[in-house]
Amino acid sequence: MRSIQRTLDRGTLAAVAAACFAVGLFGVSYGASTIAAGFPAWMPIVMAVTVLAGGSELLFFGIVAAGGSPLAAVVAGLLLNARHLPYGLSAPEVFGQGWRRMLGIHVLNDESVAFATAPGDRDRKRAAYWACGIGVALCWPVGAALGAALGSLVPDTAAFGLDAVFPVILLALILPALRDRTTLRAVLVGAALAVAVAPFVPAGLPVLIALFGLVFALRPPTSTAEVAAC
């Protein structure tokens, strides 16, 4: 922890804390809504610790609550989590080796990857990744447990707008990267695709379909030398 504090500036630490706090709030909504759907209190907590993927967990409980089979819910969750494959390929140097690598892969999530791919040297990226990854791994289950405990009292926490905090934090994290025109073009195409297909496909799939926007981030060779190098 001291190493992380020495490596990261106050602004980055504050951003990590804000992201983890937002995840915790979202976890409260998740835990409460799961209990309201009729699931036992231990289920969202165990899922939060072992799966540690909010979107997949919400999709799983949503499908089962709607009458779908658990197998279909698991397959849908795995499909949604397929986005973690390009996540892992985008920042392989932050995981470390041995048991640290296994733990690092477990705490891989949207927020930690956003910090790991932000501008900076390798030490800063690694410290930011671990700080956010461990923070989320703690705040998400704690939020789920609190939400499960309060579920009978406040069954609709979404009415307080807690679910809006999570995407706002992620948007703030990626804004600096949008200064690059190629990145901005890919993001806009991906966002347009996600919005267009959202009414017609199951929840979670628009995020995966948005990955097709990455095609527009590919830059064709601009010189004879580059063509030869390819």
**pLDDT tens profile 77-126:** 887 788 788 777 776 777 777 788 888 888 988 888 888 887 777 888 88
Banded model confidence at residue 229, pLDDT cuts 50, 70, 90? very low
CA dist., res. 138 & res. 39, Å (int): 22
Q: Is residue 159 scored above 90 in pLDDT? A: no
pLDDT at position 230, please? 44
> Any idea which of 82-91, 134-143, 187-196 has the lowest mean pLDDT?
82-91
> Any idea which of 31-40, 58-67, 171-180 has the lowest mean pLDDT?
171-180
The answer to whether the pTM exceeds 0.85 is: no
DSSP tag of 110: H
Highest mean pLDDT among 42-46, 54-58, 124-128, 174-178: 42-46
pLDDT at position 219, please? 61
Q: What angle do CA 78, 122, 54 make, to 5 degrees?
A: 25
Average pLDDT, the chain: 79
Q: Is residue 227 scored above 60 in pLDDT? A: no
3-state secondary structure 66-109: CCCCHHHHHHHHHHHHHHHHHHHHHCHHHCCCCHHHHHHHHCCC
Distances (CA, A) of 218 to 122, 189, 212, 213, 214: 24, 13, 11, 10, 7
Number of residues that this document lists for the chain:
230
Q: Which residues touch 166 (CB under 8 Å, ≥6 apart)?
A: 22, 23, 25, 26, 54
Average pLDDT, integer, range 40-60: 89
Residue 152 and residue 9 in contact, taking contact as beta carbons nearer than 8 Å? no
Percentage of residues in the chain with pLDDT exceeding 90? 15
Which run of H or of E encompasses 117? none
CA dist., res. 133 & res. 128, Å (int): 8
CB count in 10 Å sphere of residue 15? 22
